[in-house]
Amino acid sequence: MHINAGALHYGVSVFEGMKAFACKDNKIRLLNPALNAARMQKGADALLMPQVPTDMFVNGVMEAVRRNREFVPPYGRGTAEQMLSRCFRTCNNASMYIRPLLFASGQMLGLAPLANEYTFFVTVLPAGGYFGKGSEVGVKALVSSNHDRAAPKGLGSVKAAGNYAADLSPVHQVGLPNLCGTR
C-alpha cells in the first residue's frame, strides 16, 4: 500500500459486515451475500471507487468462509465455548463474522486525481452474539444528542469506514467497551 494511500489520508474505504452460521444439518449458511455486495457497490459509487462485481464479492466471501470453516462455531451452545473468548461463552448465536473491505490503496494526496489502485479483501473471525448476553436479557443503550455518527446528506447512508470513527468517543466516555460484546 502506498504511503499516500487514499484510505489513509481521506478515509476512502467501504466495508460490509455479515455472518456465517453453522446449521443443524452441518451446513454453513449466509443470508443473501448479494445484498451486501449491492450495498458495498453503493458505497463505492459514493466515494468514486470502482465497484467490486457481485460475483467477485460473493466468491471472495465464500472462499474466505471455506478456507476458515474450522473457525465457524458449531451449531448450538456447547462446543462454541472452546472457540470463543470468555465474554461470549454463554451466547446462543455464535457465528463467523465476515468483513469484506474495499479501500484506496494507491497514491491519492489531494482530492484529485483519484487513486489508481484499490484493494478488496475479506477477513473472518469467530464471534458471539452482537450484544453478548444482551440478546437474552436485554441491552443497555446510549442515546446522545451531543454526537453525530454520520453527517446528514453526507455518507451516512453507506458503510464508509470513517462513519464509524465518530462512535469511538461517546462509547468510551460512558464505558460501553467494558460490556460483554464490545472490545
Determine whether 159 is an active site residue: yes
Cell of 98: 465476515
Tell me the torsion sign for CA atoms 102, 108, 110, 112. negative
Distances (CA, A) of 149 to 72, 102, 105, 164: 31, 21, 25, 7
* Torsions phi, psi for 6 (to 5 deg): -60, -30
Q: Which residue has the cell 460475483?
A: 55
CB 50 within 8 A of CB 105: no
d(CA 114, CA 39): 21
Report, as residue numbers or ranges, the catalytic residues: 159
